[in-house]
Amino acid sequence: MSTFLQIKLMKQPLLIAAGIGLSVCLYSCEPHYDGPDSGERQAYVPVYMSDIQKNDVTISSARTTERSGKIYAFGNYIFQNDLNKGIHVIDNTDRLHPQKIAFISIPYNSEFAVKGNYIYANNGNDLVVVDVRDVMHPAVVKRMENAFPYVEQQFPPQAGYFVCPDPAKGIVVDWVLQTVTSPNCKR
Protein backbone atom coordinates (compact mmCIF):
# COMPACT_ATOMS: atom_id res chain seq x y z
CA MET A 1 0.00 0.00 0.00
CA SER A 2 1.36 3.44 -0.87
CA THR A 3 2.39 5.91 1.85
CA PHE A 4 -0.09 8.47 0.52
CA LEU A 5 -2.99 6.00 0.85
CA GLN A 6 -1.90 5.01 4.38
CA ILE A 7 -1.81 8.65 5.52
CA LYS A 8 -5.20 9.33 3.94
CA LEU A 9 -6.77 6.31 5.69
CA MET A 10 -5.24 7.34 9.03
CA LYS A 11 -6.68 10.87 8.78
CA GLN A 12 -10.25 9.74 8.01
CA PRO A 13 -11.07 8.40 11.53
CA LEU A 14 -9.60 11.55 13.07
CA LEU A 15 -11.71 13.77 10.82
CA ILE A 16 -14.83 11.73 11.55
CA ALA A 17 -14.17 11.85 15.31
CA ALA A 18 -13.54 15.61 15.17
CA GLY A 19 -16.77 16.14 13.20
CA ILE A 20 -18.81 14.12 15.70
CA GLY A 21 -17.21 15.95 18.64
CA LEU A 22 -17.89 19.34 17.07
CA SER A 23 -21.50 18.39 16.34
CA VAL A 24 -22.07 17.31 19.96
CA CYS A 25 -20.53 20.54 21.27
CA LEU A 26 -22.62 22.74 19.00
CA TYR A 27 -25.81 20.85 19.78
CA SER A 28 -25.25 21.10 23.53
CA CYS A 29 -24.62 24.88 23.33
CA GLU A 30 -27.99 25.62 21.77
CA PRO A 31 -31.16 25.52 23.84
CA HIS A 32 -33.46 22.77 22.73
CA TYR A 33 -36.97 21.81 23.55
CA ASP A 34 -37.41 18.34 24.98
CA GLY A 35 -41.19 18.42 24.97
CA PRO A 36 -43.47 19.42 27.82
CA ASP A 37 -42.09 18.73 31.26
CA SER A 38 -44.96 17.92 33.54
CA GLY A 39 -44.61 18.87 37.17
CA GLU A 40 -42.95 21.63 39.07
CA ARG A 41 -39.23 22.33 38.96
CA GLN A 42 -36.73 25.12 39.47
CA ALA A 43 -36.35 27.12 36.28
CA TYR A 44 -35.20 30.57 35.26
CA VAL A 45 -37.96 33.02 34.37
CA PRO A 46 -37.27 36.10 32.23
CA VAL A 47 -37.71 39.61 33.65
CA TYR A 48 -38.93 42.09 31.04
CA MET A 49 -38.21 45.81 31.00
CA SER A 50 -41.19 48.11 31.32
CA ASP A 51 -40.76 51.71 30.12
CA ILE A 52 -43.09 52.98 32.84
CA GLN A 53 -41.10 51.24 35.55
CA LYS A 54 -37.76 52.19 33.98
CA ASN A 55 -38.28 55.94 34.43
CA ASP A 56 -39.12 55.64 38.13
CA VAL A 57 -35.90 56.76 39.89
CA THR A 58 -36.65 57.22 43.60
CA ILE A 59 -35.03 57.08 47.04
CA SER A 60 -36.15 54.76 49.80
CA SER A 61 -34.95 53.41 53.13
CA ALA A 62 -31.90 51.16 53.38
CA ARG A 63 -32.36 47.54 52.37
CA THR A 64 -30.45 44.30 51.98
CA THR A 65 -28.14 43.92 49.00
CA GLU A 66 -29.34 41.17 46.66
CA ARG A 67 -26.70 41.12 43.88
CA SER A 68 -23.79 43.41 44.60
CA GLY A 69 -21.90 45.25 41.91
CA LYS A 70 -19.47 48.17 41.81
CA ILE A 71 -18.57 50.27 44.84
CA TYR A 72 -17.52 53.96 44.80
CA ALA A 73 -16.31 56.17 47.64
CA PHE A 74 -17.66 59.73 47.68
CA GLY A 75 -16.65 61.98 50.59
CA ASN A 76 -18.03 60.30 53.71
CA TYR A 77 -20.28 58.05 51.65
CA ILE A 78 -19.97 54.78 49.77
CA PHE A 79 -22.24 53.92 46.85
CA GLN A 80 -22.79 50.23 46.10
CA ASN A 81 -24.59 48.93 43.03
CA ASP A 82 -27.33 46.32 43.45
CA LEU A 83 -27.58 44.86 39.95
CA ASN A 84 -30.78 45.76 38.08
CA LYS A 85 -32.16 47.43 41.23
CA GLY A 86 -30.20 50.61 42.00
CA ILE A 87 -27.57 52.02 44.34
CA HIS A 88 -27.17 51.67 48.12
CA VAL A 89 -26.06 54.78 50.01
CA ILE A 90 -23.71 53.94 52.89
CA ASP A 91 -22.61 56.48 55.52
CA ASN A 92 -18.89 55.90 56.04
CA THR A 93 -18.27 58.72 58.56
CA ASP A 94 -17.25 56.09 61.13
CA ARG A 95 -14.83 54.07 59.01
CA LEU A 96 -15.03 51.09 61.37
CA HIS A 97 -18.83 50.98 61.34
CA PRO A 98 -20.29 52.01 57.96
CA GLN A 99 -24.11 52.16 57.93
CA LYS A 100 -26.54 51.78 55.05
CA ILE A 101 -28.79 54.82 55.17
CA ALA A 102 -30.75 54.84 51.92
CA PHE A 103 -31.32 53.21 48.56
CA ILE A 104 -31.56 55.02 45.23
CA SER A 105 -33.86 52.90 43.10
CA ILE A 106 -32.70 52.96 39.46
CA PRO A 107 -34.48 50.12 37.67
CA TYR A 108 -32.35 48.01 35.30
CA ASN A 109 -29.14 49.65 36.54
CA SER A 110 -25.97 47.61 36.14
CA GLU A 111 -23.21 50.24 35.88
CA PHE A 112 -22.50 53.62 37.41
CA ALA A 113 -19.69 56.09 37.99
CA VAL A 114 -19.31 59.05 40.33
CA LYS A 115 -17.71 62.35 39.34
CA GLY A 116 -17.98 65.54 41.32
CA ASN A 117 -21.43 65.64 42.90
CA TYR A 118 -23.06 63.44 40.28
CA ILE A 119 -23.76 59.77 39.72
CA TYR A 120 -23.81 58.72 36.06
CA ALA A 121 -25.82 55.51 35.78
CA ASN A 122 -27.46 53.40 33.15
CA ASN A 123 -31.22 53.05 33.52
CA GLY A 124 -32.01 50.33 31.02
CA ASN A 125 -30.66 51.80 27.82
CA ASP A 126 -30.83 55.42 29.08
CA LEU A 127 -28.09 57.37 30.85
CA VAL A 128 -29.27 59.26 33.93
CA VAL A 129 -27.32 61.92 35.80
CA VAL A 130 -28.23 62.10 39.49
CA ASP A 131 -27.22 65.06 41.66
CA VAL A 132 -26.12 63.70 45.06
CA ARG A 133 -24.96 66.89 46.80
CA ASP A 134 -27.69 66.04 49.32
CA VAL A 135 -27.54 62.23 49.30
CA MET A 136 -30.84 61.94 51.15
CA HIS A 137 -32.56 63.94 48.39
CA PRO A 138 -30.97 62.86 45.09
CA ALA A 139 -32.38 64.44 41.96
CA VAL A 140 -32.25 63.30 38.35
CA VAL A 141 -30.90 66.34 36.52
CA LYS A 142 -30.49 64.81 33.06
CA ARG A 143 -31.69 61.81 31.11
CA MET A 144 -30.21 60.81 27.76
CA GLU A 145 -32.62 58.36 26.17
CA ASN A 146 -31.24 55.45 24.15
CA ALA A 147 -27.64 56.28 25.11
CA PHE A 148 -26.77 52.56 25.23
CA PRO A 149 -27.84 49.63 23.09
CA TYR A 150 -30.08 47.11 24.78
CA VAL A 151 -28.22 44.09 26.03
CA GLU A 152 -30.94 41.53 25.62
CA GLN A 153 -30.40 38.39 27.61
CA GLN A 154 -31.73 35.58 25.46
CA PHE A 155 -30.61 32.86 27.85
CA PRO A 156 -30.37 32.54 31.64
CA PRO A 157 -26.99 32.66 33.41
CA GLN A 158 -26.92 28.91 34.10
CA ALA A 159 -27.69 25.84 32.01
CA GLY A 160 -30.91 24.01 32.80
CA TYR A 161 -34.63 24.56 32.46
CA PHE A 162 -36.05 28.00 31.73
CA VAL A 163 -39.20 29.69 30.50
CA CYS A 164 -38.66 30.71 26.87
CA PRO A 165 -38.66 34.50 26.41
CA ASP A 166 -41.67 36.02 24.69
CA PRO A 167 -40.56 38.94 22.43
CA ALA A 168 -44.08 40.37 22.60
CA LYS A 169 -43.51 41.09 26.32
CA GLY A 170 -40.44 43.27 25.71
CA ILE A 171 -36.72 43.13 26.30
CA VAL A 172 -35.32 40.56 28.76
CA VAL A 173 -33.09 42.38 31.27
CA ASP A 174 -32.69 39.73 33.96
CA TRP A 175 -33.51 36.17 34.98
CA VAL A 176 -34.91 34.94 38.31
CA LEU A 177 -34.90 31.36 39.55
CA GLN A 178 -38.40 30.24 40.48
CA THR A 179 -40.43 27.07 40.87
CA VAL A 180 -42.59 26.76 37.75
CA THR A 181 -44.88 24.19 36.22
CA SER A 182 -43.76 22.79 32.89
CA PRO A 183 -40.83 25.04 31.85
CA ASN A 184 -40.74 25.00 28.06
CA CYS A 185 -37.03 25.37 27.31
CA LYS A 186 -33.80 23.72 28.35
CA ARG A 187 -30.21 24.71 27.75
Which residues span the domain enclosing 19? 1-30
Q: Is residue 70 part of a domain?
A: yes
Q: Is residue 96 part of a domain?
A: yes
Q: What share of the chain is helix, strand, coil (3-state, %, to 5)?
A: 20, 40, 40
Q: Residues with Cβ < 8 Å from 9, sequence gap 6 or more?
A: none
pLDDT greater than 70 at residue 176: yes
For residue 171, what pLDDT band results from cuts at 50, 70 and 90? confident
Torsion of the alpha carbons at 94, 96, 100 and 104, rounded to the nearest 10? 80
Q: Is residue 41 part of a domain?
A: no
Instruction: Judge if 19 and 61 occupy the same domain.
Output: no
Q: Is residue 170 part of a domain?
A: no
pLDDT digits (tens, 9 = 90+) for 129-146: 999 999 999 999 999 999
Q: Residues with Cβ < 8 Å from 166, sequence gap 6 or more?
A: 46
Q: Is residue 125 part of a domain?
A: yes
- Backbone φ and ψ for 81, nearest 5 degrees, come out as -75, 140
Number of domains in the chain: 2
Q: 112 with 122: CB under 8 angstroms?
A: yes
Q: Is residue 44 part of a domain?
A: no
Q: Over the chain, what is the mean pLDDT?
A: 83
pLDDT digits (tens, 9 = 90+) for 41-69: 999 999 888 767 777 889 999 999 999 99
CATH code at position 130: 2.40.10
